[in-house]
Structure 1
Amino acid sequence: MDQKIIARINWVPTEQGGKKRFPLIEYSTAAQFLVDEVGQGWSVVLKIVSNHDNYETICDFSFLFPDRAPKRLLFVGSKFELYESKKVADGEIIEC
Structure 2
Amino acid sequence: MDNKVFARINWVPTEKGGKKRFPLTKYSTAAHFQDDLEGQDWSVVLSIISNHDNYETLCSVEFLFPEKVPGNLLFVGSKFVLYEFGKVADGEIIESLS
TM-score under structure 2 normalisation?
0.92
Instruction: Look up the match of 2:28.
Output: 28
Determine whether 1:10 maps to 2:5: no
1:4-38 Cα deviation digits (max 9, x unpaired): 21000000000000000000000010000111136
- What do you get for the CA RMSD once the two structures are aligned? 1.2
Give me the whole-angstrom Cα distance separating, in 2, the residues matched to 1:3 and 1:52. Answer: 25
Looking at structure 1, the residues matched to 70 and 3 of structure 2 have their Cα atoms a distance apart, in angstroms, of: 13
> In the alignment, residue 66 of structure 1 is paired with which amino acid?
P
The total of aligned residue pairs comes to: 96
Off by >3 Å, runs of 4+ in structure 1: none
Aligned residue for 2:2, secondary structure, equals coil
Which aligned pairs between 1:10-89 and structure 2 lie closer than 5 A? 10-37=10-37, 39-89=39-89
1:2 to partner: Cα distance: 2.6
Residue identity over aligned pairs, in percent, reads: 72
Offset of residue 68 of structure 1: 1.0
- Please list every run of 5 or more consecutive structure 1 residues that lacks an aligned counterpart in the other structure: none
Structure 1 pair 85–47 and aligned structure 2 pair: CA distance change class (3 A): same
- Cα offset, 1:54, TM superposition: 4.5
DSSP-derived class of the 1:62 partner: strand
Q: 3-state DSSP class of the match of 2:75? A: coil
Q: Which runs of 5+ in 2 are unaligned?
A: none
Residue 62 of structure 1: CA displacement?
Answer: 1.1
Distance 1:48 1:11 in 2: 13
